[in-house]
Amino acid sequence: MISALSVQNLAIARGDRLLFEHLTLSLGAGEAVALVGRNGAGKTSLLRAVAGLIRPLAGDVAFLGPAGPLPAEDARCQGLHLVGHHDGLKSSRTAFEELLFQVRWTGGSLASAEAACERLGLNRLRGLEVRKLSAGQRRRVALARLIAAPRPLWLLDEPLAPLDAEQRALFGTLMDEHLAGGGLIVAAVHDPLPVAARAVEIGA
């Protein structure tokens, strides 16, 4: 449904501090943007503003579908995934219970959750409590909902940071497939993304 994202003249402040202003960014189907910038430049805040979780000081975030502009509320609730530093996994539940909740909540099913486990090689971890997982394993569980509950716009906050080389390559393949299927990716990164992406510097 979302086939383009348009950010116009965005300004974001946290507390009294202005992070950036006059940020304009547009992104079409099949495109990826890598947000780069120093720590604290506002990459995470930009992702959260696109997701509607924080209100920008000025400017607009608009979602466009094939037939024109989409209501922002619907687009956010049905059309985007946000995977950030905090993965929302409850440490006392098993990896699969949490994965299944996240997948069902975002529109997937038991079958798609199992397929995603298979794809990401999570089957061995399914029965483990989340507290026993490593940072990279937790991130993989959180990323699984991206493919188990397909939504066109992925907002990723340093998605690769805790992953090892093999997992980075695998996730690169998944991102490629997502883009090839008309998806959109906005990722805040410090290392280069494993897919072709336009770099946008925040807070330059």
Partner 1 sequence: MSGFSVLLRRELALSWGGGGGPLLALAFYLAVATLLPLAIGAEPGRLAAIAPGAAWIGLALASLLSLERLFERDYEDGALDLLALGPAPLELAAVAKCLAQWITTGAPLALLAPVAAVALGAEVRLAPLTFAAALVGGVGFSFCGGIGAALSLGSRRGGMLIAVIVLPLFAPPVIFGGGAIAAYAAGLDWRTPLMLLSAYSLAMAALGPFAMAAACRNALS
Binding region for partner 1 (CB under 8 A)? 48, 51-55, 76-78, 80-82, 84-93, 97, 101-102, 104-107
Strands 198-201 and 32-36, sheet pairing: parallel
How would you label 129-140 residue by residue, b for 16+ Cβ within 10 Å and e otherwise? ebeebeeebbbb
Closer residue to partner 1, CB minimum distance, 69 or 88: 88
User: Is the Cβ of residue 85 or residue 124 nearer to partner 1 in the bound state?
Assistant: 85
How far apart CA 33 and CA 26 sit, in angstroms, is 9
Residues 6+ apart with CB under 8 A from 106: 81, 145, 149, 151
Name which of 23 and 195 has its Cβ closer to partner 1. 23
Q: How far is the CB of 27 from partner 1 (least distance, A)?
A: 18
At its nearest, how many Å lie between partner 1 and the CB of residue 192?
A: 25
* Cβ at position 56, least distance to partner 1 in Å: 10
Nearer to partner 1, 143 or 195 (CB): 143
What are the start-end ranges of the H helices in 83-125?
Answer: 95-105, 110-120
- Closest approach of partner 1 to the CB of residue 25, in Å: 20
